[in-house]
Amino acid sequence: MSGTGFGASVPRVEDYRFITGQGRYTDDITLPGQAYAYVLRSSVAHGTLRRIDTSAASSAPGVIGVFTAADLQADQIGNLPCAWHTTNVDGSARFDPPHPVLAGERVRHVGEPIALIVAETLMQARDAAELIECDIDDLPAVATIERAIAPEAPCLWQQAPGNVAFHWRSGDLDATERGFAKAAHIARLDLINNRLVCNPMEPRTATGAFDGGKAEFTLYLSTQTPHIERLLLAKATLRAPESKLRVVSPDVGGGFGTKAQHYPETVLVLWAARRLGRPVHWAADRSEGFVSDRQARDHVTHVELALDAEGKFLALRVDTAANLGAYFSTFGPLICTFLYSSVLCGNYAIPVGCCDVRGIWTNTVPTDAYRGAGRPEAIFVIERIVDQAARDLGIDRAELRRRNLIRSDQLPWKTPFGFEYEPSDYPALLARALELGDYAGFEARRAQSKAQGLLRGIGISCYLEAGGEGPSALYLASGGGVGMFEGATVRVNPSGSVVVLTGTHSHGQGHETTFAQLVCERLGVPIEQVDIVHGDTGRVQYGIGTLGSRSLALGGSAIAMAIDKIIAKGKRIAARVLEASETDVEFQSGRFSIRGTDRGLAFQEVAFLAHAPAAWPCNEIEPGLEEKAFFDPPNFVFPAGAHICEVEIDPETGKTRFTAYAVVDDFGAILNPMIVDGQVHGGLAQGIGQALLEQCVYDPDTAQLLSGSFMDYTMPRADDLPSFTTDYINFPSPNNVLGVKGCGEAGTIASPPAVIGAVLDALAPLGVTDIAMPATPHAVWQAIRAAAQKGLAVPM
């Protein structure tokens, strides 16, 4: 489609400033008199903080202030809150450990903030930090789930024996046991979901300012969720009223979930700005990001799937230990419980299930949301166990899926974990993906590779995602602390240009383009006359922000609803001016007209009249043309689809190369196909990164981070990735105004099992049956060698 409306691939209007260096990120903003902060972090993973001597640092050149936990306490700065509650399976309350902004008595992970140094320059602050004397008595540390739950393991929190933070359950244990009792076959698998470091291109950055005269704070922050930041500052940490707090998140260079948390540095820059009467700026360098940005995934799971004699799924049992790190992060326990369970049954008609999750404390950086947040972990579990069942029973992987996929006539389908899937057609999505990936012709390609001494494999993944977070009712009933609706204001200026104020935030998603397209479509206004404003609590009334594939489904719906109100008011004005009945006025293609006549007014004329209301009394139609709307969805959206991944492995080096990658998605209505394709590609890059490349590694004995830079942490590069083939079969969502389903996380959710499935298929002739993520060349080589040593290999 051409034009600028719904369905048009409008080039991103924000790209001009990004690619010409005119983006404005937090670090680009320098306030008059700004001082520079450096955070001294713990270099040990676990220890008792005996003494901190800051005297030498305080008198170092350029130093304005050096602060520790004691200073925060004196000013009654609160601890960092956790916004998600879980109840233990036995009904008891979990223990919520205090999470101080600066460590006071004990440090629990490498990178935990200990002191804040503020100086005239960053160099001076760093120099002074080296003069701080810290006496820390080392305590034994644990980094991995396996070590943390072992008997005699060092304990992080006395009130959480065995390092178990909570034991959460969803589903019906008894019914699940009964399902397993009927099983003709039980497939079993132990899985690890590897820990990841998110690594947004722009490191976390914060600048705090305080206007002493008015006692007002302004915070510039690279965040996905400015209003949530303001709320948590007001309610939990800084404890200043929201009316005195303005949070601005200007251009943000990627969030991926890791910029949606309430971080210590956010509190510190504001508090220090008040203490010192100077704006205070802090920016993480890449090394700091590695030890302080919230990390992700890190599950150990045992999964069992019960099948009848025909290969029908009867019941699912999942037992997961989730590494929480050393503290509850803002949304940490949400990710590994509620969101994890949302799609744990995948796209399959599994009647009963039970999911147990134990949150585990370790001496590592806290874990939280990262693109997909719980759902990649879930889809990995279900897709891997389905592959395993197919292998056990000698049934083709596609065929076993076809037998068990929820049919379109079974939707909406309620899962054993309480989620209700919306209309789609999972068998059609799989069928199209198999066609696009030429599944039928694969064996011929495998033979060609074999002739060259290479191993070819094909992998299948069906997925769906509970996106569009989230329905407030479900969230609040399940452990959430805030409503999850989204708001918008649409303001029409006198000459007809339009400003949209949205509570969502764009940090790469292209909202300035897509949201403007909504306005073009609905009001007939040229795209150049539409401005999208986000990321400023001083301008936008309220919102939650951007995470969980929610911006268009919720934020876009709110915009559409506000536009409807604009049109309704426009009709009243037009009716008045045209001396017609309001019900006879229609609005089409930017024009209000009397039905069946050629009499009418352009949108711009009505906009002007709204601001020049001479023809009617103000108490009948208020002057101005501005409307506000809030949208709270009745349910999640459930984008769905299937991936077919084909790889070729060099058995000599273990290197995996992609030969093809086909994706078919149901995203409901698609607003901008080009941006949707881009979101799918980006998601795939991160999912493939998890499957083949990325691994956050801590030393098991000292809990020191070993993969602490890009020298050791493998970020996906362009030449690691194939060209993707994408297609869509879309079924509009009934759960929002626009019929959209959300596309931001899909690629990341579906790709890891597709890739690992392909790798295992390639290695199957050698007798390899399992491989952990990331399936690095070294890991593949080792798996081949181990199978050969056991004599499992079929000669090539």
Partner 1 sequence: MYPFEYLKPADLQSAVKSASASGENKFIAGGMTLLPTLKLRLARPDRLIDLSRITELTGIRVEANRVEIGAMTRHADVARSAELRRALPALAALAGGIGDPLVRNRGTIGGSIANNDPAADYPSALLALAGIVITNQREIAADDFFTGMFSTALKSSEVITQLRFDIPKRAAYAKYPNPASRYAMVGVFVADTATGIRVAVTGAGPCVFRVALFEAALAKRFTPDALEGLSIPADNLNNDLHGSAEYRASLVSVMAKRAVAAALGG
Residue 778 makes contact with partner 1 by CB under 8 A: yes
Residue 788 makes contact with partner 1 by CB under 8 A: no
Residue 701 makes contact with partner 1 by CB under 8 A: no
Shortest distance in whole angstroms from residue 689 CB to partner 1: 11
What stretch of H or E contains 169?
strand 164-171
Of 421, 67, 88, the C-alpha closest to 267 is 67
Q: How far is CA 123 from CA 17, 63, 730, in A?
A: 30, 10, 54
Q: How far apart are CA 588 and CA 172, in angstroms?
A: 52
Residue 713 makes contact with partner 1 by CB under 8 A: yes
From 123, 215, 447, 568, residue interacting with partner 1 (rule: CB under 8 A): 123
Shortest distance in whole angstroms from residue 697 CB to partner 1: 6
Show contacts with partner 1 in window 376-415 (CB under 8 A).
none
Residue 62 makes contact with partner 1 by CB under 8 A: no
Phi/psi at 481 (5° precision): -105, -15
User: Which of 129/498 has CB closer to partner 1?
Assistant: 129
From 43, 87, 497, 782, residue interacting with partner 1 (rule: CB under 8 A): 782
Residue 711 makes contact with partner 1 by CB under 8 A: yes
Residue 722 makes contact with partner 1 by CB under 8 A: no
Pairing of strands 313-325, 352-361: parallel
Four-point Cα dihedral 699, 302, 365, 774, nearest 10:
60
Contact region for partner 1 (CB under 8 A) — 259-267, 344-352, 562-570, 770-778? Answer: 770-778
Residue 170 makes contact with partner 1 by CB under 8 A: no
Contact region for partner 1 (CB under 8 A) — 120-128, 131-139, 309-317, 465-473? Answer: 120-128
290 contact partners, CB below 8 Å, separation of at least 6: 111, 197, 705, 707, 708, 709, 713
727 contact partners, CB below 8 Å, separation of at least 6: 432, 433, 436, 662, 663, 664, 665
From 697, 721, 764, 772, residue interacting with partner 1 (rule: CB under 8 A): 697
What stretch of H or E contains 126?
helix 122-129
Show contacts with partner 1 in window 649-678 (CB under 8 A).
652-654
582 contact partners, CB below 8 Å, separation of at least 6: 571, 572, 575
Phi/psi at 577 (5° precision): -70, -40
Shortest distance in whole angstroms from residue 781 CB to partner 1: 6
Q: Write the interaction track for partner 1 spanning residues 240-279; mark x where CB under 8 A is met and - where it is not.
A: ----------------------------------------
From 16, 710, 770, 786, residue interacting with partner 1 (rule: CB under 8 A): 710
What six digits make up the tokens of 637? Answer: 């959206």
From 289, 298, 776, 783, residue interacting with partner 1 (rule: CB under 8 A): 776
Could you tell me how many residues of this chain bind partner 1 (CB under 8 A)?
A: 24
Residue 347 makes contact with partner 1 by CB under 8 A: no
Exposure string over 277-305, b if 16+ CB within 10 A, otherwise e? ebbbbbbbeeebbbbbbbbbbbbbbebbb
Residue 513 makes contact with partner 1 by CB under 8 A: no
Q: Write the interaction track for partner 1 spanning residues 624-653; mark x where CB under 8 A is met and - where it is not.
A: ----------------------------xx
Residue 707 makes contact with partner 1 by CB under 8 A: yes
Q: Find tokens 């704006």 and name the residue.
A: 279
Show contacts with partner 1 in window 272-291 (CB under 8 A).
287
Residue 34 makes contact with partner 1 by CB under 8 A: no
User: Which of 440/715 has CB closer to partner 1?
Assistant: 715
Q: How far apart are CA 602 and CA 610, in angstroms?
A: 12
Radius of gyration, alpha carbons of the chain: 28
Q: How far apart are CA 504 and CA 485, in angstroms?
A: 10
Binding site for partner 1 (CB under 8 A): 123, 126-127, 287, 652-654, 693, 695, 697, 706-707, 710-715, 776-778, 781-782, 785
